[in-house]
Amino acid sequence: SQTGLLAHYRHLADAAPLPLLLYNVPGRTGSNLAAGTVLQLAEHPNILGIKEASGNLEQCLQILARKPADFLFLSGDDLLTVPLIACGAAGIITVLGNAFPQRFSDMTRAALAGDYARAQRELWYFVGLNPLMYEEGNPVGVKAALALQGLCEPAVRLPLVPASEELTARIKALL
């Protein structure tokens, strides 16, 4: 429940020797930190911000509209980076940026500088690429993209397996 999550994170923040960054990723945890819960946690002096990866734009906007000025909001969803920065997010903790650091950084920096036309042009590239990164599980697609660039081996840990030849070919076509 949200009451349990609130108690849990307050307990962690009270005990932690360093400030905490919340991470809301319901697709992996099966539990969502609702906007109201995040806003209550934002008042804790040892919670500095959140990586918000719910993919729920309305929830993100509720937090951005009401968060304290010193509470850091970072997108955790690559394709929401530009719109969330336009609404006050401080940046992104990215998946795609691992495989495409320069291009993703250029997009993010353009958005942070208010050059939304340039940021949007870069975003359209990632809109086509993003689904491929998750098609066979995360981080399979990113590892395949990195391997195609000669930066690592495509190895992943079980129960994941390296990207199929078909997916690898589709990623290569977009590189």
> How far is Cα 115 from Cα 113, in angstroms, rounded to an integer?
6
In eight-state DSSP terms, residue 79 is G
Catalytic one among 23, 116, 125, 134? 23
Phi-psi region of 115 (alpha: psi -120 to 50; beta: other; left: phi over 0): beta
Residues 6+ apart with CB under 8 A from 145: 99, 100, 133, 171, 175
> How far is Cα 153 from Cα 173, in angstroms, rounded to an integer?
19
Our answer to whether residue 51 is catalytic in this structure is yes
Our answer to whether residue 67 is catalytic in this structure is no
Within 13 Å of residue 103, how many CA atoms lie on the same side as its CB?
15
Catalytic one among 9, 51, 67, 143? 51
Catalytic positions, written as ranges: 23, 51
